[in-house]
Amino acid sequence: MADLSSSPFELSPEHEALRRTVRDFAEKEVAPHVAAWDREHHFPVDLVRKVGELGLFGLTAPEEYGGAGGDFTSLCVAIEELGRVDQSIGITLEAGVGLGINPILTFGTPEQREQWLPELVAGRALAGFGLTEPGAGSDAGATRTRAELVDDEWVVNGAKQFITNSGSELTSLVTVTARTGTREDGSAEISAIVVPAGTPGFVAEPAYDKLGWHISDTHPLTFTDVRVPADHLLGERGRGYAQFLATLDDGRVAIAALAVGCIQACLDLSVEYAGQRTTFGGPIGRKQGVAFQLADLEVMLQASRALTYRAAAMKDAGRDTGRHRAEFKRAASVAKLYATESAVSATRIATQVFGGYGFMEEYPVARFYRDAKILEIGEGTSEVQRMLIARGLGLPVE
């Protein structure tokens, strides 16, 4: 197996063909509508179905469930291209696959996969992943939601917050982490349980009024004596925390791809504007103060893309398992940290290049500016990534 820790790589012709297909779709089906959708905080169900018809939700799923059986890099390419036009649409795909499909595909029984994956893979349904709580975000071990096994049913009580794809008309289920007991050492036993939408006592509360990602579907969830069959346990009892960690490793690379799309958009928009906007008899792109900022954007873009696709290639080469797992985890954190912080910087630079127009909602850079900040927070904050990277270096950081 090739050593991907330092060697260069290139996307395949198939990946580049996929990029062109998704870019064309995004420019025709997404770009003309996103300003209105963002303004109205509208979740475009019909568009999500079209994303499914294009096969994007099934890129990495096996053919037996209706997927393409493709690699993880393909998913990152699709997320990047959707995110280049709108970050909300990009995160809808990222969460739909990474947090919805992948836990069931990876940890589900054959019966669970047969029951839920075909609709999810086709994009006719969405699934959420209920992890975060008011007092348990990065500290998932502090989970307070509980599930008790009573008469061959799990009875779930608790609350989750900031859950993507959890309350739309397409939502078919949410995988929920819950305390299912106490270990011998006194720590919480955390398990994952699938709760179908419409189950009595399961309520998706009104959607959040967010700073950004206005087109994304995000809700707090409550569970009041929610009863689901015992066979809705996902994976091994007591392994929910480990399952969640594995899920987030992949998700960090996918979020990095979303950030790459953001940086690419900022660069494209800024270069175009700098060539058209004139001051003192010439385009502002002639001024070093502007040109050097755009050069910085290009550096951020190339570095972020290289780190992201290096990590994706490591996963595709099987370096996310066994003795290579620590190496992949570190690469995922490095990509996520650098790309997301670069995306936030890129939106600030782009807004500055646009000047007063960058502060106007009619220009896309304003939307990207609002959308970027959450990239540094979701699926592991920048502080968590630094902690993980430091631990990977052998430092005893807490």
Catalytic residues: 379
Domains of the chain: which residue ranges? 13-125, 128-237, 241-392
pLDDT at position 139, please?
75
pLDDT at position 9, please?
64
Tell me: the pLDDT tens digits for 115-172? 999 999 999 999 999 999 988 776 767 899 999 999 999 999 999 999 999 999 999 9
pLDDT band at 356 (very low <50, low <70, confident <90, very high): very high
Average pLDDT, the chain: 95
* 3-state secondary structure string across the chain: CCCCCCCCCCCCHHHHHHHHHHHHHHHHHHCCCHHHHHHHCCCCHHHHHHHHHCCCCCCCCCHHHCCCCCCHHHHHHHHHHHHHHCHHHHHHHHHHHHHHHHHHHHHCCHHHHHHHHHHHHHCCCEEEEECCECCECCCHHHCCCEEEEECCEEEEEEEEEEEECCCCCCEEEEEEEEEEEECCCCCEEEEEEEEECCCCCEEECCCCCCCCCCCCCEEEEEEEEEEEEHHHEECCCCCHHHHHHHHHHHHHHHHHHHHHHHHHHHHHHHHHHHHHCEECCEEHHHCHHHHHHHHHHHHHHHHHHHHHHHHHHHHHCCCCCHHHHHHHHHHHHHHHHHHHHHHHHHHHHHHHHHHHHHHCCCCHHHHHHHHHHHHHCCCCCHHHHHHHHHHHCCCCCC
- Fold of the CATH domain 128-237: Butyryl-CoA Dehydrogenase, subunit A; domain 2 (2.40.110)
Tell me: the pLDDT tens digits for 277-299? 999 999 999 999 999 999 999 99
Report whether pLDDT(3) > 70: no
Superfamily of domain 13-125: Acyl-CoA dehydrogenase/oxidase, N-terminal domain (1.10.540.10)
Q: What is the pTM of this model?
A: 0.96
The listed CATH number (1.20.140.10, 1.10.10.10, 1.10.1240.10, 3.40.30.10) that belongs to domain 241-392? 1.20.140.10
Report whether pLDDT(106) > 50: yes
Report whether pLDDT(5) > 70: no
